[in-house]
Amino acid sequence: MKPVRHLFGIAQLEAEQIEYLLTLGASFIDLSRRPLRKAPTLRGKTIINLFFENSTRTRTSFEIAGKRLSADVINISAATSATKKGESLLDTAQTLAAMRPHVLVIRHSIAGCCEFLAPYLEGTAIVNAGDGAHEHPTQVLTDLLTLRAHGGFAGKVITMVGDISHSRVARSHLLAARKMGYTVRLVAPKTLLPAEVERYGCEVFHDFDAAIPGSDVLYMLRVQNERLTSSCCFPSIREYHEAYGLNRQRLRLAGEDCLVMHPGPMNRGVEIATDVADSVQARILDQVEHGVAVRMAVLTTLCGAHAMEEEA
Residues at the interface with ligand ASP (CB under 6 A): 130, 136, 168-169, 222, 224, 263-264
Rounded least distance, CB 49 to ligand ASP, Å: 14
Of 108 and 185, nearer to ligand ASP (C-beta) is 108
CA dist 149 and 153 (Å) reads 9
Rounded least distance, CB 81 to ligand ASP, Å: 19
Of 65 and 303, nearer to ligand ASP (C-beta) is 65
With beta carbons less than 8 A apart as the criterion, state whether 174 and 200 touch.
Answer: yes
Span between the terminal Cα atoms of the chain, in Å: 18
In the Cβ-directed half-sphere of 35, how many Cα atoms lie within 13 Å?
0
CA dist 231 and 307 (Å) reads 48
Of 169 and 211, nearer to ligand ASP (C-beta) is 169
CA dist 48 and 50 (Å) reads 6
Tell me the torsion sign for CA atoms 68, 69, 72, 77. negative
Of 108 and 136, nearer to ligand ASP (C-beta) is 136
| Element of type H or E holding 214 | none
Rounded least distance, CB 225 to ligand ASP, Å: 10
Of 97 and 114, nearer to ligand ASP (C-beta) is 114
Rounded least distance, CB 247 to ligand ASP, Å: 20
Of 130 and 189, nearer to ligand ASP (C-beta) is 130
Of 163 and 216, nearer to ligand ASP (C-beta) is 163
Angle of helix 137-148 versus helix 168-180 axis, rounded to 10: 50
Rounded least distance, CB 43 to ligand ASP, Å: 30
Q: Tell me if residue 183 falls in helix, strand or coil.
A: strand
List beta partners, residue 218.
Answer: 159, 260
Rounded least distance, CB 264 to ligand ASP, Å: 6
Q: Tell me if residue 21 falls in helix, strand or coil.
A: helix
CA dist 289 and 189 (Å) reads 31
Of 169 and 254, nearer to ligand ASP (C-beta) is 169
Q: What angle do CA 301, 10, 64 make, to 5 degrees?
A: 45
| DSSP per-residue string spanning 238-286 | HHHHHHH-B-HHHHHHH-TT-EEE--S---BTTTB-HHHHTSTTB-HHH
CA dist 273 and 144 (Å) reads 24
Rounded least distance, CB 74 to ligand ASP, Å: 21
Rounded least distance, CB 263 to ligand ASP, Å: 4
* Closest CB to ligand ASP: residue number: 222
Sheet order of strands, 72-77 included: 72-77, 46-51, 103-108, 125-131
